[in-house]
Amino acid sequence: FSADDVTVLFVLGGPGAGKGTQCERLVAAYGFTHLSAGDLLRAEQNRVGSQYGELIKDYIKNGLIVPMEVTIALLENAMRDAMTAAAAAAAKPTSTSKSTTDDDDDAPLKGKFLIDGFPRKFDQAVKFEEAVCPAKFVLFYDCPEEEMERRLLERGKTSGREDDNAESIRKRFRTFVETSMPVVDYYEKQDRVVRIRADVPPDDVYRATQAELVKRLGD
Ligand code: UP5
Ligand code: MG
């Protein structure tokens, strides 16, 4: 993808920081396509015939980072699917719009993507930006571990997620501190991180997010 055709924002933050919650709201308000790397991996894990099912299950339970070939392929496919669906929708004639030209290729489609929970490791960041598309900037949801732990244990009562238990949560935090925070630091050095306080109610986090998006993307 070229940066002219797509806008990609990485959405990062520790386990339970609220990435998914905020992305959902941004989708409704700004028409982003939300791609959660974790959700894509869980879907692939459950796909009948997947050769990666067992591997993904094992990595997620242990809070480890799945080899990036798998995750990047899933993200790239999902981006392509979203662009294809948008093109098909745009090409469909509607009763109210009279097309003055048959040539739909004139207007290039713009994709807007929130990539949630990726990249989690330095080499993934480099590879994705090289092979798929550079990110415009990074939204980083900053939340203390005690608060994230409280949220995940609470969610674990009903989520059915195999990593929402005390032991897996401990492992996820460890991977986050040791492996994923360095990615945020790397982007911070390039002045590409928008840091948002995430230990306040979801409405407040969202308001802060909106204010930053207006500054950086307009409207
Ligand atoms: N909640 C949310 N915001 C709140 C707020 N402001 N105040 C109070 N409560 C709030 O929220 C978590 C919980 O907190 C919810 O109950 C919510 O209502 C509440 P959520 O929005 O789901 O937070 P999120 O940051 O999305 O938490 P998630 O658990 O999804 O984060 P993880 O980063 O741990 O999970 P992810 O799905 O991204 O990854 C899971 C695993 O997949 C990884 O550990 C790894 O093994 C694997 N993975 C890879 O290997 N590679 C990848 O690239 C991505 C994932
Ligand atoms: Mg999530």
Cβ < 5 A residues, ion ligand 2: 19-20
What CATH number has the domain bearing residue 39?
Answer: 3.40.50.300
Q: Is residue 160 part of a domain?
A: yes
Closest by CA position to 128, among listed 119, 137, 136: 119
Q: Is residue 116 part of a domain?
A: yes
Which of 16-25, 105-114, 175-184 has the lowest average pLDDT?
105-114
Q: Is residue 157 part of a domain?
A: yes
Number of folded domains that form the chain = 1
ipTM rounded to 2 decimals:
0.99
pTM attached to this predicted model: 0.94
Q: Is residue 42 part of a domain?
A: yes
pLDDT digits (tens, 9 = 90+) for 126-180: 999 999 999 999 999 999 999 999 999 999 999 999 999 999 999 999 999 999 9
**How far is residue 152 CA from its own chain's centroid?**
18
Q: Is residue 166 part of a domain?
A: yes
pLDDT at 95 exceeding the cut of 90 = no
Q: Is 133 helix (H, G, I), strand (E, B) or coil?
A: coil
Which residue range is the domain that position 171 belongs to?
Answer: 6-90+110-217
Predicted local confidence at residue 94, as pLDDT: 67
Predicted local confidence at residue 110, as pLDDT: 79
Closest by CA position to 114, among listed 46, 174, 194, 44: 194
Q: Is 38 in the pocket of ligand 1 (CB under 6 A)?
A: yes
Residue nearest to atom 3 of ligand 1 (CA): 18
In whole angstroms, what is the distance from residue 10 CA to residue 193 CA?
9
Matching residue, tokens 């040791």: 178
Q: Considering the chain, what percentage of its residues have pLDDT values greater than 70?
A: 92
Q: Is residue 103 part of a domain?
A: no
